Amino acid sequence: MAIESDVVVIGGGLAGATAALSAAHEGAHVHLISANESTLRQASGLIDALGYPDPDGDADPDGYGGASASGPLVDPFAGIEDLPEHHPYRVAGADALREGLALFDDAVGDLYRGGHTDRNALVATTSGRAKPTARYPRSMAPGVVSDERPTLLVGFEADTEYDAPLAAERLSAAGVPFDVAGATVAFPGEHRADATVTRLAHALERDEDAGEGRTTRQRLADRIRPHLGDAERVGVPAMLGDERVEEVRADLSERLDAEVFEVPTGPPSLPGIRLADRLFDALDEAGVSMTTGTPVVDFESTEGADDERIDRVLIDRNGARIPYVAEQYVLATGGLVGKGLDSTRERATEAVFGCHVPQPDDRTDWSAEGAFADHAFARFGVEPDGTMRPLGSDGEPEYENLRAAGGVVGGADVAREQSASGVSLATGLVAGRTAAEET
């Protein structure tokens, strides 16, 4: 038996969640299909909009004040009009980014900061560089680079990915407007050397016994205190609990008499997990039904006199093909990294519907010299019209009732621009809204 809805969204990342929320807010009955757990769980939790629009910038794109000739953008909206014509922001419009950010703010509530201004904030990362971002978790807010209070960065001996003294040295060399030092301490308690981030976070959240009558938080404060010096704030890896991160931060801040904040880390990412949980709660509250852990493996379409329409998509559930039927579909499966695009030595193709992906015919033109160069493959994706319908090689919509959002949309090098989240929000908002309007 087919499962029916007004709009089916394929993909459970930020773009898919945004499209689903946008369509649901327009009154559509929405079903979201995700092949795996949300990719947000592997992300930093920072929401970038546009950090570096200069396509000729050749410095490290994570650098503080120098990723391009013009440096990081203060106002992400100010750079949109200078982007290429086929960039997703130019196609969707600057208002789509603004409205997408507003939708995000409404969905996450007090979990995030930055919604009071159009200006980017610079947030220090574990690499010792500052990332321009439009929205950032509340737990990271005291660590923004514009805050001039003396800072101590703290890493843990078992966490080899974060060298706090090196990060402090890099920030200081970059000219941040505050004194910064780094220290490495042992995480309290008896934990295996390969203990997961979530296990350590739970130890802090539960304030577990750490031996000799001291709890995990007490022990951690004891080990940080000798390194404080004049520091008025303390940055630690983003593992201060799961559901009660603000309680843990407040407790440690009181014990140290310095404001504690989280530094965004790589995967697995607790801020990303918190964000995914909050967004999926918002989807549930909006009445969006969801199917997870089952990929879309095929589809059926009908070719009419004037257009071709998708009739249904089929998911694979334990070998059985289950049809999902809707009036409109949104494709939000990600780009090359997210496997929304397939690639061989000859061609890159969209993985679900086989939509056209503009690309150089000569494979040698896909990339350029240098890791941070202007690579053509980084901009691969479908080319949409103003309502986010993917266009064929003839410039006409591939399917009348299909729209695309997020990383599967081409035209932007989101890593160099620091624009991935914003592109997901802007295109997801337009795709979801226009899909709902056609039901």
Residue 291 β-bridge partners: 33
Q: How far is CA 20 from CA 178, 283, 392, 435, in A?
A: 42, 7, 25, 10
pLDDT tens, position by position, 74-98: 999 999 988 999 999 999 999 999 9
Is residue 66 pLDDT above 70, yes or no? no
HSE-CB of 99 using CA atoms within 13 angstroms = 18
Q: What is the pLDDT of residue 65?
A: 41
Closest by CA to 55, choosing from 40, 37, 68, is 68
Read off the pLDDT band of 193 (50, 70, 90): low
Mean pLDDT of the chain: 91
Q: What is the mean pLDDT of residues 112-140?
A: 94
Query: What residues does each domain of the chain span?
Result: 3-109+273-437, 126-263
Q: Which residue is listed with tokens 């959240």?
A: 205
Nearest 5°: phi and psi at 341? -115, 140
| 55 pLDDT more than 60 | no
| Rounded Cα gap, residues 319 and 341, in angstroms | 24
pLDDT at 195: 65
Q: Which is more confident, 56 or 185?
A: 185
What is the arithmetic mean of pLDDT over 308-316? 95
Q: Average of pLDDT values for 13-25?
A: 97
pLDDT of 77: 94
Angle 215-219-223 from CA coordinates, rounded to 5°: 175
Q: What would the pLDDT profile of 196-249 be if each residue is shown by its tens digit? A: 888 899 999 999 999 889 999 999 999 999 999 999 999 999 999 988 999 999
Question: Is residue 312's pLDDT more than 90?
Answer: yes
Structure confidence at residue 64 as a pLDDT band (50, 70, 90): very low
pLDDT tens digits, 387-418? 999 999 999 999 999 999 999 999 999 999 99
Q: Which residue type occupies 224?
A: I
Helices (H), 177-238: 197-206, 216-224
Q: How far is CA 394 from CA 194, 331, 357, in A?
A: 53, 20, 12
Judged by average pLDDT, the poorest of 26-30, 267-271, 433-437 is: 267-271
Answer whether 0.75 is exceeded by the pTM: yes
DSSP letters for 367-430: --SSTTS--GGGG-SB-B-TT-PBB-TTSSBS-TTEEE-GGGB-S--HHHHT-HHHHHHHHHHH
* pLDDT at position 112: 97
- Give the pair of three-digit tokens for residue 248: 């843990």
Cα–Cα distance measured from residue 223 to residue 260, given in angstroms and rounded to the nearest whole number? 14
pLDDT at position 190 over 90: no
pLDDT band, residue 365 (cuts 50/70/90): confident
- Side-chain-side CA neighbours of 268 within 13 Å: the count stands at 16
Would the pLDDT of 138 be above 50? yes
Q: What is the pLDDT of residue 59?
A: 39
Q: Which of 11-25, 308-322, 340-354 has the highest mean pLDDT?
A: 11-25
Q: Answer with the residue of higher pLDDT: 78 or 24.
A: 24
What percent of the chain is predicted at pLDDT more than 90?
A: 75
DSSP letters spanning 106-164:
HHHGGGEE-TT-SSPEEEE-TTS-EEEESBEEGGGGGGBTT--S-EEEEEETT-TT--H
Distance in angstroms (rounded) separating the CA atoms of residues 43 and 40: 5
d(CA 406, CA 403): 11
- Superfamily of 3-109+273-437 according to CATH: FAD/NAD(P)-binding domain (3.50.50.60)
What are the C-alpha distances in Å from 277 to residues 143, 176, 281?
23, 34, 6
Examine the pLDDT at 270 and tell me if it is beyond 50. Answer: yes
Q: Residue 108 — φ and ψ, nearest 5°?
A: -95, -15
Helix (H) or strand (E) holding 320: strand 320-331
Give percent above pLDDT 70 in the chain: 95
Split at pLDDT 50, 70, 90, the class of 194 is low
